[in-house]
């Protein structure tokens, strides 16, 4: 595998990729924190601390949309750097990405997980969202090659 292509990410596309990636990274927090806040709020209400209990319950309800807003605001700050014409050179070892402002290269072995979605390949390093490639930038043959590269390898026990 060795191909080079140029594409221009759109703000909506970058926003969706960041929302998917960061949302996946923060999935446990998105579920656990509201559950802890709700349980603590109920406990406070049962103990007669109505103000604190109501505040904790309100926090449990408000946390998910606030987190989504923070992710979107962070994404908007990155758009100027990410939504520019980009040239990708993809090989079996990794990829390099260059714009007028920057050039970077990454080996596939850096990523501990690659999640394929209908729109993107999302890259993670130790459960932290590290980047993405949009499927639309690649022709069908290139997408098939990348899907095969990122497909989970069977473990010796499952063969």
Write the pLDDT tens digit of every residue in 35-82: 888 999 899 889 888 899 899 999 999 988 887 788 778 777 777 777
CA dist 50 and 28 (Å) reads 28
Cβ–Cβ < 8 Å for 83, 10: yes
Write the pLDDT tens digit of every residue in 115-147: 999 999 999 999 888 889 999 999 999 999 999
């Amino acid at each position: 595998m060795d191909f080079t292509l140029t594409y221009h990410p759109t703000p909506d596309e970058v926003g969706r990729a960041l929302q998917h990636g960061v949302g996946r990274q923060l999935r446990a927090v998105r579920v656990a924190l509201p559950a802890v806040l709700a349980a603590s709020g109920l406990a406070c209400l049962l103990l007669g601390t109505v103000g604190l209990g109501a505040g904790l319950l309100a926090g449990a309800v408000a946390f998910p949309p606030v987190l989504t807003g923070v992710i979107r605001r962070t994404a908007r700050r990155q758009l100027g750097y990410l939504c520019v014409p980009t040239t990708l050179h993809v090989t079996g070892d990794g990829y390099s990405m260059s714009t007028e402002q920057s050039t970077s290269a990454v080996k596939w072995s850096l990523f501990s997980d690659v999640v394929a979605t209908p729109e993107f390949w999302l890259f993670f390093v130790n459960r932290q969202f590290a980047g993405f490639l949009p499927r639309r930038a690649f022709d069908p043959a290139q997408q098939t090659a990348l899907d095969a590269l990122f497909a989970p390898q069977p473990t010796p026990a499952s063969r």
